[in-house]
Amino acid sequence: EPEVTQTPSHQVTQMGQEVILRCVPISNHLYFYWYRQILGQKVEFLVSFYNNEISEKSEIFDDQFSVERPDGSNFTLKIRSTKLEDSAMYFCASISPGYPPAYYTFGSGTRLTVV
Amino acid sequence: DAKTTQPPSMDCAEGRAANLPCNHSTISGNEYVYWYRQIHSQGPQYIIHGLKNNETNEMASLIITEDRKSSTLILPHATLRDTAVYYCIVRAASSFGNEKLTFGTGTRLTIIP
């Protein structure tokens, strides 16, 4: 079964540093997402991306976050200046629209630890 | 999207059927019921979804009441690997497919050996 691949699986970074989390969505999917889950909390939506632009973003997704699809296969989340509270699991997901409604496929996540 | 209510936790004996309830009393006519699960800290895994008819796949069965205000996910023969948090999510159908998923706190299902 096709998978969404995320790298790295773990990332430790110092506060204030920039990090890039990478995802390879399923090849024929058209919509891409980032979600995050702070330890012990709910899975939260960050941003959705379609046709090379952001289609929706949450209030969490402020100016320190950005996404891009640089080469038609990778989908990246950049955090410009990390804060301690950015420590979380970050999940990438993709979906192909249509009827009947499809389902999201999630990657296994990147555990980001900011120290 | 309609809000869902699930019990916070449930136990089930290994080999027995696990029945996980979900209430979605404000569901709209075009909203589907989706079930996902999250094993430990892995990414959410799709299980099944339905609109109004009962559905079955290789993982589970989904029973939706006639008024669509509640549903039950059935894992017919639970194994230890089914221990996870199970999320019931209601999502509108759209050919655009860009509606985000809104996760609640789910039901933590523990399979007892």
Residues A5-45: tens digit of each pLDDT: 999 999 999 999 999 999 999 988 889 999 999 999 999 99
Place of tokens 């999250």: B38
Phi, psi values for residue B52, rounded to 5°: -145, -20
**What is the chain A residue with the closest CA to B100?**
A45
ω into A8 cis (within 30 of 0): yes
Place of tokens 């709209």: B28
Kindly state the average pLDDT of the residues B33-56.
94
| pLDDT at residue B66, rounded to an integer | 95
H/E segment holding residue B35: strand B31-38
Q: Which residues of A touch B94 (CB under 8 A)?
A: 97, 101
Q: Which residues of A touch B97 (CB under 8 A)?
A: 30-31, 95-98, 101-102
Q: What is the 3-state secondary structure (H, E, C) of chain B?
A: CCCCECCCEEEEECCCCEEEEEECCCCCCCEEEEEEEECCCCCCEEEEEECCCCEECCCCEEEECCCCCEEEEEECCCCHHHCEEEEEEEEECCCCCCCCCCCCCCEEEEEEC
Q: What is the DSSP letter of B17?
A: P
**What is the chain B residue with the closest CA to A34?**
B100
Contact B98 A56 (CB under 8 A): yes
pLDDT more than 70, % of chain B: 93
Q: Which residues of B touch A102 (CB under 8 A)?
A: 97
CA-CA-CA-CA dihedral for B72, B75, B78, B83, to nearest 10: -70
pLDDT more than 90, % of chain A: 77
ω into B8 cis (within 30 of 0): no
Q: How far is CA B104 from the centre of its chain?
A: 11
